Amino acid sequence: MRKNRVFITILAFIVGINLVSCIQKKSEENHVEFDHLQMNEKVFLLPQNDTTLPYADVKIDFLYPKKFNNQEDLARLQQIFNGTFFNDETYDSLSPQDALDKYVENYVEEYRELTNQYNQDLANLEGENRPSWYWYSLGKSNKILYNDKNILSYSVEHYDYTGGAHGSLRVLYYTIDLNELTTVTEEDIFQPNYHHFLTSKIVEKLMEKYKVDSPEKLIDEGFFDINEIAPNNNFWLNNEGIHYIFNQYEIAPYSMGPIEVTIPYEEIKSIIIPESVAKNYID
């Protein structure tokens, strides 16, 4: 009986997901076209749909490819988008709509597992006080950063608040090699033993950004141990260079937010593999 109730609740919730046809970007060279799957819903912890009681505010905007080359290539491109957007390879084989439905279903189930604990905490409070830490938020979106005949770069932003002092924002960057239909890693574009040289370039760009004249002075700006700054494979490419991001707590405190640096290809061309996709953008 409980299983039926959960199914009905989830089904009613998923019906609220709206598909909005909207071509975000179309390249004349690679012919990739996109659609959005969007939702903005409140997931109630308790059976009562009462906004004075705990709920999770869920906002999702999933941009996915709807047209590219042929059906086989499109299926592979959608597979990559599904896996990277939902950060789970088990979504790879699903359609974008089914992947979103499954993700929402899993989130609703996990959130409502807190019901018994909420009731226990409520019973321990005096008067009409309610446990305030059961109001959650989830925000998830992606956007295209660069798109040409060779590469497609995009970001995935994930915001999660689970009742603590503050929420958590995480940004992940991806670049797809459109010729191979694979995501690009550092090992795909940089020669062996690239790590030390690339690290020095990242530190150099951070020094420029924060206007300091030595790596040690980055600590005065709020950074953690300078030795923790290193390439992290969280980057995207365009025709100008490589763009890295370091998320909150990765190399600096939460208050500094995500930290980005850009390194022009000309400054790192000595470590770029001649056959790599990045080589297309070096004169």
DSSP state of 268: H
Whether residues 130 and 37 share a domain: the answer is yes
* Residue that terminates a domain, selected from 127, 147, 181: 181
User: Residue 245 has which token pair?
Assistant: 């991001």
Q: Domain with 257 in it: what CATH number?
A: 3.90.640.20
* Residue that terminates a domain, selected from 154, 181, 208: 181
CA distances to 13, 81, 165, 221 from 224, in Å = 43, 33, 21, 9
Whether residues 207 and 173 share a domain: the answer is no
* Residue that terminates a domain, selected from 181, 210, 244: 181
Domain count, the chain: 2
**pLDDT score for 267:** 98
**pLDDT score for 126:** 86
CA distances to 241, 266, 274 from 262, in Å = 7, 12, 21
Q: Domain with 164 in it: what CATH number?
A: 3.30.565.40
Nearest-angstrom CA–CA distance, 80 and 82: 5
Whether residues 195 and 55 share a domain: the answer is no
Q: Which domain holds residue 265?
A: 186-281
pTM across the whole model: 0.87
**pLDDT score for 29:** 63
DSSP state of 272: B
Q: Which pLDDT tens digits describe the chain residue by residue (283 residues)? A: 434 444 334 434 443 444 333 333 444 467 899 999 999 999 999 999 999 999 999 999 999 999 999 999 999 999 999 999 999 989 999 999 999 999 999 999 999 999 999 999 999 998 888 899 999 999 999 999 999 999 999 999 999 999 988 999 999 999 999 999 999 999 999 999 999 999 999 999 999 999 999 999 999 999 999 999 999 999 999 999 999 999 999 999 999 999 999 999 999 999 999 999 999 999 8
Strand-pairing partners, residue 177, are 151, 182
Nearest-angstrom CA–CA distance, 201 and 271: 12
Contact 78, 49 (CB under 8 A): no
Whether residues 69 and 148 share a domain: the answer is yes
User: Residue 75 has which token pair?
Assistant: 């299926």
**pLDDT score for 30:** 76
Whether residues 146 and 54 share a domain: the answer is yes
Angle between the N-to-C axes of helices 71-86 and 96-112, in degrees from 0 to 180, rounded to the nearest 10: 20
